């Protein structure tokens, strides 16, 4: 039993001027909002700091044309409130950014969260005061605040990244990053537009804007295996069915490996006769969403031959849609396994390359040398543009945390601690950083499904500590070491390390290659977290 209760902290003259809370949450996305709700329910004094001037996180920042999620809407919404589930109508099967942002604003109002949210407030540092067992955070406006618990709900895809091209600031036209898209509509009519990048974001954006642009040039480094989304409006009777069956939907998505409605086919791909296998592929292709990835044969992500079989099927689909065979071949991925990078879902992407006003530039053949005042200079020529769009992604998973100057016991920095990749126990805490919870989901999972698990685990842990009178929780170094080794072992059993991707951190120059996500199934991950809690937080030190 901990003798040093949460009341051990006595404010000094200096700390009196600093705001005091029980808990500080960083980030007002889907995770941070739910975390705030749960801690409010526990009666804690909480302050949530958010860099943006609105709530929504991903769905606040990524307002580029075509932005939407690729999870089924009825599985993406929170499951924790039956009332909310009955009140909210999803308009599309794969909901777009404006609706997602409205949804999260609705949640902030419904659960009275706004009073404890401070917008336009970027946390620049967080320093652990060992004597007082308090985290002290510094906000970019100069404010400081202290709390017993610090929760980083900073998102895995929120630290936007622009490659360090020479001359980026010299461009005289307009530049945008998709992850920091302006609120005012951008006009493309008659404009010469460049998009750098061909990941899921670029695929959505290009499909949406190609018809508007005077001319669009797409700079591609890595072609992707894009698969049809097959979106549509949610019919009233379907809406009613969702509402009537939410219990079953949520039960199902807690059982499947990645938190979706589909599960892998239990058969090994190559054991199924060719004709039958192709029929399965065609059936998957005709279905909406990620079923081609996560509802495919069970060994598609572990067996190279099985993967290659489906990859070739996808390549042929791409070839059949692009008229110019030279352009088609450029769009066909050949250097990484299917699914080893996040699969972009599309609604007419490949057809855009049949348009007269769209040009594909392969930067592996002709690398970008620099950004110039007029546009983009490749090894081949200078292209002139009115607008350059950087669809160049994120410093994923670790980026939003390591951009904050976090200092734990002995002044050790979080950035140094994670220099070789994420070092955690259960993805939730790092040794040497007591009471700092990492509320970013690193399981391969329909995000909100696993984010709810994490938030509930953290909330239960805080409640447990308060009930038992513990002041601090941190993982033992042995538990952390074992978890890191276990996560690496799981990663080595997949084909994920065969690709350059944000999953591996290899989209960021100088970032150490390591699988940033946890490769076990979501139910296994959930069971491990629950087991640790049930055993009195085994592997953690509570004092």
Ligand X SMILES: Cc1cc2nc3c(=O)[nH]c(=O)nc-3n(C[C@H](O)[C@H](O)[C@H](O)COP(=O)(O)OP(=O)(O)OC[C@H]3O[C@@H](n4cnc5c(N)ncnc54)[C@H](O)[C@@H]3O)c2cc1C
Q: What is the closest distance, in whole angstroms, from the C-beta atom of residue 446 to ligand X in the complex?
A: 5
Q: Where do contacts with ligand X occur on this chain (CB under 6 A)?
A: 26-32, 49-52, 57-58, 60, 62, 67, 69-71, 122-123, 153-155, 157-158, 201, 400, 404, 440, 446-447, 451
What token pair was written down for 333? 């991925």
Give me the half-sphere count of Cα atoms (radius 13 Å) on the Cβ side of residue 327. 19
Cα–Cα distance for residue pair 82/247, rounded to 1 Å: 9
**CB-wise, 371 or 529, nearer to ligand X?**
529
Q: What is the closest distance, in whole angstroms, from the C-beta atom of residue 140 to ligand X in the complex?
A: 8
**CB-wise, 57 or 434, nearer to ligand X?**
57
**CB-wise, 157 or 284, nearer to ligand X?**
157
**CB-wise, 122 or 374, nearer to ligand X?**
122
Q: What is the closest distance, in whole angstroms, from the C-beta atom of residue 334 to ligand X in the complex?
A: 26
Exposure pattern of 385-412 as b/e (b: 16+ CB <10 Å)?
A: bbbbbbbbbbbbbbbbbbbbebbbeeeb
Nearby residues of 508 by Cβ (< 8 Å), 6 or more positions away? 161, 395, 399, 502
* Strand 123-129 with 117-118, pairing: unpaired
Exposure pattern of 238-264 as b/e (b: 16+ CB <10 Å)?
A: ebeebeeebeebbebbbebbbbbbbbb
Q: What's the distance, CA 164 to chain centroid?
A: 22
Cα–Cα distance for residue pair 543/537, rounded to 1 Å: 12
**CB-wise, 71 or 291, nearer to ligand X?**
71
Cα Rg of the chain (Å, integer): 24
C-alpha distances in Å from residue 449, one per residue of 42, 249, 397, 456, 461 = 22, 11, 17, 11, 19
Q: What is the closest distance, in whole angstroms, from the C-beta atom of residue 274 to ligand X in the complex?
A: 32
Q: What is the closest distance, in whole angstroms, from the C-beta atom of residue 65 to ligand X in the complex?
A: 12
Query: Are 198 and 223 spatial neighbours (Cβ–Cβ below 8 Å)?
Result: yes
**CB-wise, 36 or 216, nearer to ligand X?**
36
Query: Are 54 and 101 spatial neighbours (Cβ–Cβ below 8 Å)?
Result: yes
**CB-wise, 269 or 443, nearer to ligand X?**
443
> DSSP character for 195?
E
The owner of tokens 């990078």 is: 341
**CB-wise, 28 or 499, nearer to ligand X?**
28
**CB-wise, 57 or 197, nearer to ligand X?**
57
Query: Are 39 and 505 spatial neighbours (Cβ–Cβ below 8 Å)?
Result: no
Q: What is the closest distance, in whole angstroms, from the C-beta atom of residue 284 to ligand X in the complex?
A: 18
**CB-wise, 23 or 479, nearer to ligand X?**
23
* Strand 174-177 with 144-152, pairing: unpaired
Q: What is the closest distance, in whole angstroms, from the C-beta atom of residue 156 to ligand X in the complex?
A: 6
Nearby residues of 188 by Cβ (< 8 Å), 6 or more positions away? 209, 212, 213, 214, 387
**CB-wise, 113 or 404, nearer to ligand X?**
404
Quick check: helix, strand or coil at residue 157? coil
Nearest CA to 171 out of 381, 375, 384 is that of 375
Q: What is the closest distance, in whole angstroms, from the C-beta atom of residue 258 to ligand X in the complex?
A: 9
What order do you get walking across the sheet with 382-384 strand by strand? Answer: 368-371, 375-378, 382-384
Cα–Cα distance for residue pair 526/87, rounded to 1 Å: 28
Q: What is the closest distance, in whole angstroms, from the C-beta atom of residue 236 to ligand X in the complex?
A: 24
Q: What is the closest distance, in whole angstroms, from the C-beta atom of residue 60 to ligand X in the complex?
A: 6
What token pair was written down for 72? 């089924």
């Amino acid at each position: 039993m901990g003798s040093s209760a949460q009341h051990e902290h006595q404010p000094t003259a200096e700390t009196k001027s600093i705001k005091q809370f029980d808990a500080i949450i960083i980030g007002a996305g889907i995770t941070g909002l739910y975390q705030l709700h749960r801690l409010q329910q526990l009666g804690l004094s909480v302050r949530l700091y958010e860099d943006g001037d609105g709530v929504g996180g991903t769905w606040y920042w990524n307002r580029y044309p075509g932005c939407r999620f690729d999870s089924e809407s009825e599985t993406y919404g929170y499951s924790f409130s039956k009332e909310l589930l009955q009140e909210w109508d999803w308009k599309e099967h794969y909901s777009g950014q404006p609706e997602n942002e409205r949804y999260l604003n609705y949640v902030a109002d419904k659960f009275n969260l706004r009073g404890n949210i401070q917008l336009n407030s970027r946390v620049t540092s967080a320093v652990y005061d060992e004597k007082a067992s308090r985290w002290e955070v510094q906000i970019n406006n100069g404010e400081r605040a202290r709390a017993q618990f610090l929760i980083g709900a900073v998102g895995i895809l929120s630290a936007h990244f622009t490659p360090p091209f020479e001359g980026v600031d010299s461009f005289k036209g307009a530049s945008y990053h998709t992850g920091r898209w302006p609120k005012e509509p951008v006009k493309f009519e008659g404009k010469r537009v460049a998009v750098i990048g061909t990941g899921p974001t670029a695929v959505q954006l290009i499909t949406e804007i190609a018809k508007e642009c005077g001319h669009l040039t797409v700079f591609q480094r890595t072609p992707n295996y894009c698969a049809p989304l097959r979106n549509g409006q949610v019919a009233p009777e379907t809406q009613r069915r969702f509402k009537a069956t939410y219990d079953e939907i949520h039960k199902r998505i807690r059982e499947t490996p990645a938190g979706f409605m589909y599960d892998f086919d239990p058969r090994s791909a190559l054991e199924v006769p060719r004709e039958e296998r192709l029929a399965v592929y065609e059936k998957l292709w005709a279905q909406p969403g990620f079923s081609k990835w996560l509802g495919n044969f069970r060994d598609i992500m572990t067996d190279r031959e099985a993967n290659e079989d489906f990859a070739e099927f996808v390549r042929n689909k791409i070839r059949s849609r692009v008229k110019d065979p030279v352009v088609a071949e450029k769009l066909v991925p050949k250097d990484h396994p299917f699914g080893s990078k996040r699969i972009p879902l599309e609604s007419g992407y490949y057809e855009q390359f049949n348009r007269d006003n769209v040009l594909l530039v392969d930067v592996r053949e002709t690398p970008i040398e620099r950004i110039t005042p007029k546009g983009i200079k490749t090894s081949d020529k200078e292209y002139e543009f009115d607008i350059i769009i950087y669809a160049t992604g994120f410093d994923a998973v670790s980026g939003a945390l390591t951009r904050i100057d976090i200092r734990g016991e002995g002044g050790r920095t979080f950035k140094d601690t994670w220099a070789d990749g994420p070092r955690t126990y259960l993805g939730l805490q790092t040794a040497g950083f007591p009471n700092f919870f990492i509320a970013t989901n690193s399981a391969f999972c329909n995000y909100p499904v696993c984010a709810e698990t994490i938030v509930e685990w953290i909330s239960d842990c805080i409640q447990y500590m308060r009930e038992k009178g513990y002041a601090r929780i941190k993982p033992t170094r042995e538990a952390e070491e074992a978890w890191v080794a276990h996560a690496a072992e799981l990663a080595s059993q997949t084909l994920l390390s065969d690709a350059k991707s944000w999953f591996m951190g290899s989209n960021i120059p100088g970032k150490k290659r390591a699988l940033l996500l946890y490769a076990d199934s979501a139910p296994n991950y959930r069971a491990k977290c629950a087991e640790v809690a049930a055993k009195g937080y085994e592997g953690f030190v509570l004092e």
